[in-house]
Amino acid sequence: MIIQLEPNIKQDLRDRIITKINGLKYKTTEVATQKGEYIVGIGKKDFDIRDIGHMPGISDVHIVSDDYKLVSKKWKVKPTVIDLGDGVVIEEGGMAIMAGPCSIEGEEQIEKTIQHLLDNNVKIMRGGVYKPRSSPYSFRGLGIDGLKVWYDAARKAGIKIITEVMQVSQIEEMHDYIDIFQVGARNTQNFNLLDELGKVHKPVLIKRGISGTIDELLSSAEYVFSAGNENLMLCERGIRTYEKASRNTMDINAITILKEKSHLPVIADPSHGIGIRDHVEPVALACIMAGADGVIYETHEKPEEAYSDGQQTLNFRESEKLINKMRKVFELREEM
C-alpha cells in the first residue's frame, strides 16, 4: 500500500494516519523524497481502501501487491522526468543518449570525446573513474582526480556526467562533480550503497545485476526511492547465461517488461549487452524499438587502444552512424 500525503501535511494528521495503518496490522515506512511524501504500508490483510482514503492529509492511496511499491507503475500516473538542468532531461517515452569511453584515461581523451558528443548534439557523457575489475592487478581507474579534470572540461562544454560510484565513502567526494550516479552490475544488491544514494538528490542509474532478476532490479530501485531519492533510472545491460558467443545475453524482454512494471525510465546498454563492437548497433536499435527510454554505450577515438572494453567500444565514426540511426528509429517509434 502506498499512501501519498498532501504537501506540508501537519504532524498530527500524519500520526493519525500511521496509527490507523498500524491498526490494520500493516507495518509503515515513512518516505520523503525530492518530490513528495509517502507512507508505505506492508502487510497482508485485506481491507476496504475507502476506510483510509477519506482521511485528511491523504492525497491518494494505492494497493500494490508486488514486493516493490514506490517504483511500481500501479500508482504513478504522470511519466517520470529526470531533469539534469540546462534543458537536459531523461524521461519516460524519450530517447536519451549517453556515450563515452569505458574508462576515463586523461585530458586528451576527454576533450576528443566531448568534441565528438558536441558534434552530434549528445549531452551526456559516460566514463569510469572507479573501475570494478575482477583482478586486483588490473587498471582501477583515475579516481577522484580524473573526475575533477573531466568535470571541468564537461562543464565548459555543457556536457553532463554519468559515472559509477562503487562505495558509500565515494558518494560525498564525487557528489559535486557528477550529474548521475551509476550503480554497476556488481553493486545492484549492495544495499548499503543504495540506502546512501537515497539520501542525495542527484539522479541514480541502477544497472541490473549480472544475473539479477527483473524483480530484484525493481527492489533495488525501491531501496533508493524509499530512502528519499526518486530521481531514478533502470538499466538493462545483458545477463549471464550459458551462451558464450556473446559477452552477455541482452535481455530484450526485460526492456518491455520493465516499462510495464515501473514508471522509471529504462535505459539500454548494448555495449555490455552483446560485448562485440560490430553488433552494438543492431542491438541498440532493437532496444529502442522495444521501448527503451535511452541508450548508454561505449565510444572511444581508438577503441583498440582503450584501457578497457575496447572489443565492445565504437570508434567515433561508428558512434556517429549509430546516433543518426537511433534518432530515426526513435522517430518511427513515436509515429507508430
Residues 195-254 that bind its own copies (CB under 8 A): 195, 209-211, 213-216, 219-220, 222-223, 226-227, 238-246, 249-254
Under rule CB under 8 A, residue 154 binds its own copies: no
- What's the closest the beta carbon of residue 149 comes to its own copies, in angstroms? 22
Inter-residue contact 288 to 332 (CB < 8 Å): no
For its own copies, what does the binding mask look like between residues 255 and 294, x meaning CB under 8 A? xxx--x------------xx-x-xx--xx-xxxxxxx---
- DSSP class of residue 292 equals -
Say how far apart CA 273 and CA 283 lie, in whole Å.
8
Inter-residue contact 131 to 265 (CB < 8 Å): no
Q: Which of 55-63, 94-102, 134-142, 172-180 is the region at the interface with its own copies (rule: CB under 8 A)?
A: 134-142
Inter-residue contact 250 to 297 (CB < 8 Å): no
Please return the burial class of 90, using the count of CB atoms within 10 Å of its CB with bins 0-12, 13-18 and 19+.
buried
**Residues 17-46 contacting its own copies, CB under 8 A:** 27, 29, 40, 42
Minimum CB distance to its own copies smaller for 201 or for 328:
328
- What's the closest the beta carbon of residue 290 comes to its own copies, in angstroms? 4
Q: Could you tell me how far CA 280 lies from the centroid of its own chain?
A: 20
**Residues 75-114 contacting its own copies, CB under 8 A:** none
Minimum CB distance to its own copies smaller for 110 or for 314:
314
Total residues contacting its own copies by CB under 8 A comes to: 76
Three state DSSP letters for 115-143: HHHHHCCCCEEECECCCCCCCCCCCCCCH
Minimum CB distance to its own copies smaller for 103 or for 226:
226
Minimum CB distance to its own copies smaller for 100 or for 141:
141
- What's the closest the beta carbon of residue 280 comes to its own copies, in angstroms? 9
- What's the closest the beta carbon of residue 128 comes to its own copies, in angstroms? 13
Minimum CB distance to its own copies smaller for 180 or for 227:
227
Residue type, 103: S
Inter-residue contact 113 to 301 (CB < 8 Å): yes
- What's the closest the beta carbon of residue 279 comes to its own copies, in angstroms? 5
- DSSP class of residue 1 equals -
Inter-residue contact 182 to 163 (CB < 8 Å): yes
Q: Could you tell me how far CA 196 lies from the centroid of its own chain?
A: 15
Minimum CB distance to its own copies smaller for 11 or for 134:
134
Minimum CB distance to its own copies smaller for 23 or for 136:
136
Say how far apart CA 58 and CA 311 lie, in whole Å.
53
Of the CA atoms within 13 Å of residue 115, those in its CB half-sphere come to 10
Cell of 134: 575482477
- What's the closest the beta carbon of residue 105 comes to its own copies, in angstroms? 17
